[in-house]
Structure 1
């Protein structure tokens, strides 16, 4: 997945996300996209988790990392606030959604760190990590680009990555991008539109 492809896919899907808002029979903007698939990762308790553990539930899936200085915490805050807004306006719909944070930095993001980070933004957020190979497989399945940056003088590093949030249906098929860049109300509206 190249940056160019993502830079074309994400704005197109966001532009389409509002289409069909008044038509309950409208096709979701990401219907048929090759996004998602089987994964095997580890949750905050160290338990192995697969995509099948979320079967039958809608999912918000976001990839990032806990040492991210700005974008990830901002997106996670908006996603969590958007889900809370939906819990207030449509609690039955909100209850059908499991929000998932998957790290792109498994070297530093241990299960405990990922779990603590994820639940900071919403108590139901599930934080997932794994071996580098497991994380890479999940990242590729979800068309997420990530690349470790050069180490700083102190040994730290940044991870450059794409930052889209996906709404997946109960069968694990993609529905729409969740517009974390447009604020909590836009997130809540997108979830309300596509969660049945």
Structure 2
């Protein structure tokens, strides 16, 4: 996977809890509020807790979501959010490891398209194990509680 600053392997983040999202920057549906709730929950963590938690967005649309676009989008959502992109094979492998699904829809007449995808937040404990999966509509309070539970 690639962050705007260069390659990033989430295994190098062991010791930190991850709030992991699969989405894309053109998502017109739940994702903006889902990501916002994650960012707001992160903001309620103490500085010591924040140092131990990473917000990660993995795109499911690598054709449009370049590292530069991911950087801009992540900065818009939260300075704490890291946006990752990669090759279709890299993204498929990461998504498969979390049982996350996505499917690019047929383009509309104007060439635009959507990507249907799993709407979950994956809470990964500092030891790398999947600790919780929060579904669509997870509130700021639920995300905060899940993050604190793994710290």
Same fold (TM over 0.5): yes
Deviation, structure 1 residue 179 = 5.5
8 Å contact from structure 1 (residues 149, 158) kept in 2: yes
Give the paired residue count.
151
User: Is 1:61 matched up with 2:24?
Assistant: no
- 1:184 alignment partner, one of 130, 133, 140: 140
Query: Tell me, which stretches of 5 or more residues in structure 1 are unaligned?
Result: 1-40
Which residue pairs with 2:11 in the alignment?
Answer: 52
Structure 2 unaligned runs (5+)? none
Contact 1:180 1:187 in 2 (8 A): no
Partner residue in 2 for 1:174: 130
TM-score if structure 1 supplies the norm length? 0.72
Q: 1:125 corresponds to which residue?
A: 81
In the TM superposition, what is the alpha-carbon distance from 1:143 to its structure 2 partner?
0.7
Q: 1:107 aligns to what?
A: 63
Matches within 5 A, 1:81-92: 81-86=40-45, 90-92=46-48
Partner of 1:116: 72
Q: Deviations over 1:40-66 (max 9, x none)?
A: x01113x11112321221111110000
Match of 1:71 among 26, 30, 55: 30
Question: Cα RMSD between the aligned structures?
Answer: 1.5
User: What TM-score comes out, normalization by structure 2 length?
Assistant: 0.93
How far apart, in 1, do the equivalents of 2:136 and 2:54 lie?
Answer: 16
State the structure with more CA Rg.
1
Secondary structure of the 1:177 match is strand
